[in-house]
Amino acid sequence: MRIPSTLSRTVGPLLLRRAGRNGIDLRTLRFLPASITLPVRRVGVDPLPALGRIREEEPVRRLTTLFGKGIWLVSGYDEARTVLGDAASWSNDLGQFVSQDGRGDSEQIGGLGMTDAPLHTELRRCLTPEFTRRRLARLAPRIDEIVEARLEAVAAAGPEVDLVAEYAFPVPFEVICELLGLPVEDRDAFRALGAARFDLTQGGAGVFGAAAETREFLIDAVARQRAAPGDGLIGALLRDHGDRLDDVTLGGMADGVFLGGYETSASMIALGAYLLAGSPEALQRLRGSDDDVDAVVEEMLRHLTVVQIAFLRFARHDLELGGRTIREGDCVGVSLLAADRDRRLTGGDDRFDPAREPGRHLAFGWGMHRCLGAELARMELRAALRGLAHRFPDLAIAQDATTLPWRDLSAVYGVDALPVRLWPADPVPQAPAAARSRLSVRAAAGALRR
């Protein structure tokens, strides 16, 4: 696929060097109003009750006015699908709320989730071949190896261990580095740049500052590989599109993959383990058939919906939504979490139910901006959670849930530490750890390959 020359000449300027309009700049905000942060606050793994009440009473609600623009929350399932699926009425161009003047390359706003067609279409087309099931299948053996190695490390650190530090973060971190093709020597420096991307406690300033660091790291990684492209996604993009796209654009694309594929999977594994520890049925089903594993994973995705709010949308024209009039230029945040707990999707019971028939949840978004790496995320979750269920069938939380360090005000929800007990305090005599590791991890992981 060759990008038309007229488009390739405008990719960098349009995507990464757009000027802010109307003097609006979210980077200057040091805090966000409480009315805006409602959708990213939780009690444990559940949304605030107030969010559920808003969804039932007013699934499209005006929250406040910011910089003269109406700020709206969409929390109903049907209304959310309407917004996410209608790119003709809604723009994802965040440049109108973030000034680009005087910013370096790494500080510019870009990425698939913040661009519109035709630019979004062409950039996504560059990435799509790397995320087909056939291409991703090459990663399956490596994912199995990573999971098995981390299970060994967890067992060695037991009987009580912080599952976030020892498992939930290392597994997707190693996978995303393998996917991107980052050299081993770069990975320690890269590891520290993840969680801050989604932390809203410092307002817009903190988020955009952290984003600049990861983007700069990946721009540099592209530049280093340009002369000798590696085996991963960065190398593939350079070989296929390096003559038409510069380091800044390709680095931004790699950053989008990192943004969508690391922190989200880490949070899902950690919170998934939290649910497993309280659900013997889920643990049992994860030791069952592929269909049982798929059903548990899909229900976890729906119930947890760690990406709490979709990329912001901006009305292209005056329109009606859920009986409300939204004006041109108004900003809409779609609460994916609230939508996935809507009775119109769940039938009125939004509790975690590992036996639930999978439905059309919005954990990966919807429409043209649906997560490109959804299948990779599912591969990781199947392997990581199934491995836990086989290796530690008596997994239990070792700390009062109310005292766990739940991540406050983060666009991607999670927990910063998850102390767990791997086996009962007075365990039944069992085989040595090395023998236990051979029981079923490889076999179970192999069964997951489609």
In the predicted model, is pLDDT for residue 13 greater than 80?
no
Contact 75, 53 (CB under 8 A): no
In the predicted model, is pLDDT for residue 438 greater than 60?
no
DSSP letters spanning 97-123: GS--TT--GGGS--SGGG--TTHHHHH
Residues 214 and 50: their CA atoms lie apart, in Å, by 35
CA dihedral sign of residues 107, 112, 118, 122: positive
Res. 262 pLDDT band, cuts 50 70 90 = confident
In the predicted model, is pLDDT for residue 443 greater than 50?
no
Q: What pLDDT score does 18 carry?
A: 40
pTM: 0.83
Helix (H) or strand (E) holding 326: strand 324-326
State which of 3-17, 20-34, 225-239 shows the largest mean pLDDT: 225-239
In the predicted model, is pLDDT for residue 9 greater than 70?
no
Helix (H) or strand (E) holding 158: none
3-state secondary structure 415-431: ECCCEEECCCCCCCCCC
Res. 441 pLDDT band, cuts 50 70 90 = very low
Side chain identity at residue 424, one-letter code: P
Contact 87, 116 (CB under 8 A): yes
Res. 274 pLDDT band, cuts 50 70 90 = very high
Side chain identity at residue 307, one-letter code: V
Q: What pLDDT score does 118 carry?
A: 87
Q: Give percent above pLDDT 70 in the chain.
A: 77
Tell me which of 57-71, 127-141, 338-352, 436-450 is least confident. Answer: 436-450
Beta strand 90-91 pairing with 313-315: antiparallel
Question: What tokens does 55 get?
Answer: 């969804």
Contact 123, 253 (CB under 8 A): yes
pLDDT 10s digits, 308-355: 999 999 999 999 999 999 999 999 999 999 999 999 999 999 999 999
Contact 383, 144 (CB under 8 A): yes
Residues 65 and 446: their CA atoms lie apart, in Å, by 52
User: What's the mean per-residue pLDDT of the chain?
Assistant: 82
Which residue in this structure is represented by tokens 């383990």? 273
User: How confident is the model over 150-163, as a mean pLDDT?
Assistant: 96
Contact 323, 290 (CB under 8 A): no
In the predicted model, is pLDDT for residue 302 greater than 90?
yes
State which of 187-196, 312-321, 408-417 shows the largest mean pLDDT: 312-321
Quickly count: other Cβ atoms within 10 Å of residue 159's Cβ.
14
In the predicted model, is pLDDT for residue 419 greater than 90?
yes
- The helix/strand/coil state of 327 is coil
CA dihedral sign of residues 197, 200, 201, 204: positive
Q: What pLDDT score does 10 carry?
A: 40
Res. 11 pLDDT band, cuts 50 70 90 = very low
Residues 375 and 368: their CA atoms lie apart, in Å, by 16
Q: Where are the alpha helices (DSSP H) in 106-169?
A: 119-127, 133-136, 140-157, 163
Res. 104 pLDDT band, cuts 50 70 90 = very low
In the predicted model, is pLDDT for residue 98 greater than 90?
no
Q: Where are the alpha helices (DSSP H) in 262-289?
A: 263-277, 280-286
Beta strand 69-74 pairing with 60-66: antiparallel
Angle CA 180–182–184, to nearest 5 = 145
- The helix/strand/coil state of 329 is coil
Q: What pLDDT score does 256 carry?
A: 81
Residues 409 and 352: their CA atoms lie apart, in Å, by 23
Residues 281 and 283: their CA atoms lie apart, in Å, by 5
Which residue in this structure is represented by tokens 């950690």? 270
Q: What pLDDT score does 15 carry?
A: 38
CA distances (Å), origin 92, targets 83, 89, 158, 316, 442: 11, 10, 46, 10, 42
In the predicted model, is pLDDT for residue 376 greater than 50?
yes
Helix 203-225 / helix 184-191 crossing angle, nearest 10 deg: 170
Put residue 66 in one of left, alpha, beta given phi > 0 → left and psi -120 to 50 → alpha: beta
CA distances (Å), origin 406, targets 39, 63, 112, 162, 271: 15, 25, 29, 14, 10
CA dihedral sign of residues 165, 170, 171, 176: positive
Q: What pLDDT score does 33 carry?
A: 63
In the predicted model, is pLDDT for residue 100 greater than 70?
no
Q: Give percent above pLDDT 90 in the chain.
A: 56
